[in-house]
Amino acid sequence: MTGEETVSTEADRLAGTIQLEDVIYFEVSAKRQESQGAVAPDAPPPTEVPIQVMIGQGLDRLLMRVVAEVASPQATFRVDVGAQFVLTEAAEPSPEVLVAFAGKNAMAILMPYVRESLMTMASRMRVPAPMLPLEQFRHLTPQGVTITE
């Protein structure tokens, strides 16, 4: 088994020993661009959305947060949402396993909340909703993840 396969297997094992306890919003905000009136409403959506992934690990809990900042020609949006998990078995996963778990599971859990928040804010502001390029979120790298204890 290669190193990547081992990490993937350990991430799958971790997924079997935790339960989603809560989804928590830390920030949901939007601001209309000052030049909004001069921008064509059919401007292309961003091809990449800057995201920050943070993982906090306690004795019997994991908190995974995703912060997405999207700038469209009409508005800027920021969504910071987290998933709190309870460990049902004692585990001390390595940073690589936490990153693999976040990429496989936490992103799949949190991205619908991010997308819904963006759609709701855009609708309330009467601007086109930004599209999230999904391919970007499929493979997290350790360089894109902050792990805290």
- Tell me the mean pLDDT in the region 25-29: 96
CA distances from 19 to 4, 54, 58, 62, 106 (A): 24, 18, 14, 10, 12
Of residues 63 and 148, the one with the higher pLDDT is 63
Residue 99 host element (H or E):
helix 95-101
- Tell me the mean pLDDT in the region 22-42: 78
How do 145-148 and 51-57 pair as beta strands? parallel
Most confident segment among 30-34, 43-47, 76-80, 96-100: 76-80
Q: What would the pLDDT profile of 54-76 be if each residue is shown by its tens digit?
A: 888 887 888 999 998 988 888 89
